[in-house]
Amino acid sequence: MDGILPLWKPRGMTSHDCVMKIRRIFKTRKVGHTGTLDPEVEGVLPICIGKATKVVPFLTDTKKTYIAELKLGKTTETEDSYGEIVETMEVEAFPETDEIDTCFKSFLGVTEQIPPMYSAVKVNGKKLYEYARANKEVERPIRNIEIYSIKRLAQNKNDQTIRFQVTCSKGTYIRTLCVDIGKRLGYPAHMSFLERTQTGNFTKKEAVTFEQLEKTATEAERAAWLKPLLSGVDHLSSIEVSEQIKRKVQHGQKLPRPDELPRTNPFLMVHHGELLAIYQLHEKSKQEIKPVRVFQLDKKVGE
């Protein structure tokens, strides 16, 4: 059984917990998730099953959309509502709507972000949260992220909260974004709510819950929830190949570089709507392209 399951991850489970449960439900060990969600966060978590595990790195790299809420007046060590409070300030003048909107606009585009200490980012071979739990401060790497869109949804002066929707690049910490927004508004802040509503082309509307999965009695019923491999990588450009070229692609052969270069690198090799492989420009030969993943063979070739 091969495909992508658009899972709605519930609160209280880690992404790894979800993988383990899917393995039991689908009776296969070949399962992988496409981007960690904190245990306290629910949302869209595409799960790759069977041959679809080969597209995990490419689906992980897609845009994500979240509904988030930040609360002004307090900062916590974890940057969310579950950590110890490290700074407080009375919100004497809650920001006006125009001020909030202007602040949000300032975050659009490519910006720098320092990941939180309570995160899985590695420094010198150890995860940052391991340093945090040992009360050790280390220099955190500055990373470039991209905010594609961000808009205010609601604000509540009584609760001192601002709810917003954001679409961002891989690796963006919404907790840190909430803290940074608070700073620009003049107050300490933390993330008080988060839900991921979209990963790549997979949306909340089509996501499947564990409750729904556990009601499926047959393999055919479970397979019906799976999306084709192509749906997980159609953010990449594609090249339609002939029947003759299809055979070469299926055997992982290098091919002449096309006259018209694809929009993305890597890119898809497709035949009549069937995903055959993911190719990339050959880094050593300007005349060739080579396979990164081949889906019609059981082994990975061309690397």
- Residue 298 annotated as catalytic: no
How far apart, in Å, do the first and last CA atoms of the chain sit? 25
Asked if residues 283 and 303 have their Cβ atoms less than 8 Å apart, the reply is no
Asked if residues 99 and 185 have their Cβ atoms less than 8 Å apart, the reply is yes
Rounded CA separation 284/212 (Å): 49
Among candidate residues 203, 200, 141, the one with its CA nearest the CA of residue 173: 141
Return the ∠ at Cα 151 (arms to 149 and 155), rounded to 5°: 155
Token couple for 280? 């990339």
Among candidate residues 28, 36, 10, the one with its CA nearest the CA of residue 212: 10
Beta partners for 147?
109, 168
Asked if residues 131 and 83 have their Cβ atoms less than 8 Å apart, the reply is no
Q: Point out the catalytic residue in the list 2, 17, 38, 101.
A: 38
Residues assigned a catalytic role: 38
